[in-house]
Chains A and B, each alone.
Chain A
Amino acid sequence: MSDRVTVRARVNGVEYERSVEPRLLLSDFLRQDLGLTGTHVGCEHGVCGACTVLVEGEPVRSCLMFAVQADGARLTTAEGLTPGNGAPLHPLQAAFRDAHALQCGFCTPGILMSMAALLDAPSPLSDEDIRATLAGHLCRCTGYANIVRAVRKAHGQLHR
Chain B
Amino acid sequence: MASYIGERVRRNEDARLLTGRALFVDDVQLPGMAHVAFLRSDHAHGRLRGVDVEDARRYPGVIAVFTAADLGDFWQPGPLLVPPPPVPGLEFHARTQVPLARDKVRHVGEPIAMVVAESRYVAEDALALIAVDVEPLGAVGDLEAALLPDAPKVHDELASNLAARVRQQKGDYDRARADADLVVSRRFVYDRGASAAIENRAVAAAWDPKSEELTIWDTTQAPIPIRNGLARLLGLLESQVNVIAPFVGGGFGPKIMMFYPEEVLVPWAARRLGRPLKWTEDRHENFGATTQERSQVHDAEIALTREGRILGVRDVFLHDNGAYNAYGLTVPINSQCTLLGMYRVPNYESEFKAVFTTRTQVTPVRGAGRQHGVFVMERLLDLAARELGIDRLELRRRNLLSPDEFPHNHEIIFQDFAPLTYDSGDYLPAFDEAAALIGYDRFYREEQPRLRAEGRRVGLGIVGYVEGTGIGPYEGARVTVEPSGLVRVATGVGTQGQGHFTAFAQLVADALGVDVEQVRVVTGDTREFHWGTGTFASRGAVVAGTACRSAALAVRDKVVALAARLLDAAPETIELEGGRARGRGRDDASLSLGELAARANPLRGAVTPGMEPGLEATAYFGPDRGNTANGVHAMIVEVDPETADVKILRYVVVHDCGRLINPLIVEGQIQGGVAHGIGNAFYEQLHYNEDGQLLNASLMDYLLPVATDVPDVEMAHRETPSPFNPSGLKGVGEAGCIATGALFAQAVEDALGHAVEIRGIPLSPDRLFHLMREARA
State the A residues within 8 Å of B (CB): 1, 21, 23-24, 31-32, 35-45, 47-48, 50, 77-79, 81-82, 85, 89, 93, 96-98, 100, 102-109, 112, 130-132, 134-148
Q: Which residues of B contact A144 (CB under 8 A)?
A: 671, 675, 706-707, 710
Q: Is the interface of A mostly helix, strand, loop or mixed?
A: loop
Interface residue tally on B, bucketed by range: 35 or more
Q: Which residues of A contact B283 (CB under 8 A)?
A: 42-45, 48
B10 A104 Cβ-Cβ under 8 A: no
A105 B18 Cβ-Cβ under 8 A: yes
Q: Which residues of A contact B23 (CB under 8 A)?
A: 37
CA distance A48 to B669 in the complex (A): 21
Chain A: minimal CB distance from B219 (Å): 10
CA distance A132 to B26 in the complex (A): 30
B498 part of interface (Cβ distance < 8 Å):
yes
State which of B194-202, B267-275, B545-553 sits at the interface with chain A.
B194-202
Q: A21-B121, A107-B249 are in contact. List 14 more A-B contacts (CB 8 A).
A: A1-B60, A50-B198, A77-B20, A89-B15, A98-B10, A104-B249, A105-B14, A138-B704, A140-B198, A141-B668, A143-B710, A144-B710, A146-B671, A148-B707
Contact partner of B24 (CB less than 8 A), chosen from A21, A103, A106, A138, is A106
B249, closest chain A residue (CB): A106
Q: Which residues of B contact A140 (CB under 8 A)?
A: 196-198, 250, 252, 672, 675-676, 704
B61 part of interface (Cβ distance < 8 Å):
yes
Known contacts A103-B672, A106-B24, A134-B707; is-contact A47 B699 (Cβ 8 Å): yes
B669, closest chain A residue (CB): A103
Interface residues of B in 270-302 (CB under 8 A from A): 280, 282-283
24 A–B contacts from the bound complex (CB under 8 Å): A40-B199, A41-B26, A44-B283, A45-B283, A48-B198, A79-B20, A96-B18, A103-B498, A103-B499, A104-B198, A104-B247, A104-B248, A106-B24, A131-B708, A134-B707, A139-B198, A140-B196, A140-B197, A140-B252, A141-B250, A142-B672, A143-B668, A143-B710, A145-B710
A131 B707 Cβ-Cβ under 8 A: yes
B24 A47 Cβ-Cβ under 8 A: no
Chain A: minimal CB distance from B294 (Å): 18
Chain A: minimal CB distance from B226 (Å): 19
A142 B671 Cβ-Cβ under 8 A: yes
B282, closest chain A residue (CB): A44
B665 part of interface (Cβ distance < 8 Å):
yes
Q: Is the interface of B mostly helix, strand, loop or mixed?
A: loop
Q: Which residues of A contact B196 (CB under 8 A)?
A: 138, 140
Contact partner of A143 (CB less than 8 A), chosen from B252, B496, B713, is B713
Known contacts A97-B10, A146-B668, A148-B707; is-contact A47 B499 (Cβ 8 Å): no
Chain A: minimal CB distance from B124 (Å): 11
Known contacts A138-B704, A140-B250, A145-B710; is-contact A108 B672 (Cβ 8 Å): no
CA distance A34 to B204 in the complex (A): 19
Q: Which residues of B contact A39 (CB under 8 A)?
A: 20
A38 B699 Cβ-Cβ under 8 A: no
B671 A105 Cβ-Cβ under 8 A: no
Among B14, B21, B280, which residue has the most Cβ atoms of chain A within 10 A? B14
Inter-chain CB contacts under 8 Å: number? 183
B18 A37 Cβ-Cβ under 8 A: no
B20, closest chain A residue (CB): A38
A50, closest chain B residue (CB): B198
B11 part of interface (Cβ distance < 8 Å):
yes
Q: Which residues of B contact A108 (CB under 8 A)?
A: 17-18
Chain A: minimal CB distance from B541 (Å): 14
Nearest 8 pairs of A and B residues by beta carbon: A38-B20, A106-B249, A104-B497, A105-B17, A143-B675, A103-B497, A37-B27, A143-B671
Known contacts A43-B699, A44-B282, A104-B496; is-contact A112 B18 (Cβ 8 Å): yes
Chain A: minimal CB distance from B33 (Å): 10
Chain B 1-29 interface mask (CB, 8 Å, partner A; 1/0): 00000000011011101111111101101
Interface residues of B in 638-688 (CB under 8 A from A): 664-665, 667-669, 671-676
Chain A: minimal CB distance from B161 (Å): 32
Q: Which residues of A contact B671 (CB under 8 A)?
A: 142-146
B200 A23 Cβ-Cβ under 8 A: no
Chain B 230-270 interface mask (CB, 8 Å, partner A; 1/0): 00000000000000000111111000000000000000000
CA distance A81 to B21 in the complex (A): 12
CA distance A47 to B196 in the complex (A): 13
Q: Which residues of A contact B121 (CB under 8 A)?
A: 21, 23-24
Q: Which residues of B contact A138 (CB under 8 A)?
A: 196, 198, 699, 704, 706
Known contacts A104-B496, A145-B671; is-contact A135 B708 (Cβ 8 Å): yes
Q: Which residues of A contact B704 (CB under 8 A)?
A: 138, 140
Q: Which residues of A contact B172 (CB under 8 A)?
A: none
A21, closest chain B residue (CB): B121
Chain A: minimal CB distance from B411 (Å): 36
B667, closest chain A residue (CB): A100
B606 part of interface (Cβ distance < 8 Å):
no
Contact partner of A148 (CB less than 8 A), chosen from B199, B706, B712, is B712
B200, closest chain A residue (CB): A42
B27 A145 Cβ-Cβ under 8 A: no
Q: Which residues of B contact A42 (CB under 8 A)?
A: 198-200, 249, 283
CA distance A6 to B633 in the complex (A): 57
Q: Which residues of B contact A105 (CB under 8 A)?
A: 13-14, 17-18, 22, 247, 249, 497
B700 part of interface (Cβ distance < 8 Å):
yes
Known contacts A131-B708, A138-B706, A145-B712; is-contact A104 B197 (Cβ 8 Å): yes
Known contacts A77-B20, A131-B707; is-contact A45 B498 (Cβ 8 Å): no
Chain B: minimal CB distance from A42 (Å): 5
A92, closest chain B residue (CB): B18
Chain B 695-736 interface mask (CB, 8 Å, partner A; 1/0): 000111000101110111100000000000000000000001
Chain B: minimal CB distance from A146 (Å): 6
Q: Which residues of B contact A102 (CB under 8 A)?
A: 14, 17-18, 497
Chain B 52-80 interface mask (CB, 8 Å, partner A; 1/0): 00000000110000000000000000000
Q: Which residues of A contact B699 (CB under 8 A)?
A: 43, 45, 47-48, 138
B125, closest chain A residue (CB): A1
CA distance A1 to B119 in the complex (A): 12
Q: Which residues of B contact A82 (CB under 8 A)?
A: 19
A36 B672 Cβ-Cβ under 8 A: no
